Amino acid sequence: MVFHLIKNSPNVYSHLHIIARNGDQELYNYMRDKLAGYITIYDPSEPPRVDDIQKDPRGGIQLVIIDDYSSDKKLQHDIS
């Protein structure tokens, strides 16, 4: 769903920040190749700081995507 949103919103976001447990997935590799310089994929143990995201020199709208959390049974248990 997120890929559909990004694909149908060209030139809207100045940078994509994706936080994912497994950043080495086919979709992320494809996006990394096509959006080189406009996408950063983070490990959940080292997410970007909000202050760093706000300092984008291009001044455009940035999108932060948090992936893989809803299916994590242990995380769901820890949050409850």
pLDDT of 79 > 50? The answer is no
Task: Scan for tokens 């242990």, then name that residue.
Answer: 74
Residue range 24-76, pLDDT digits in tens: 888 889 999 988 988 999 998 888 888 888 776 777 888 898 887 655 555 54
Please tell me the predicted confidence (pLDDT) of residue 72: 57
Q: With beta carbons less than 8 A apart as the criterion, state whether 16 and 62 touch.
A: yes
d(CA 26, CA 49) in angstroms, rounded, equals: 26
At 53, is the secondary structure helix, strand, or coil? Answer: helix
H/E segment holding residue 5 = helix 2-7
Please tell me the predicted confidence (pLDDT) of residue 67: 85
Residues pairing with 74 in the sheet: none
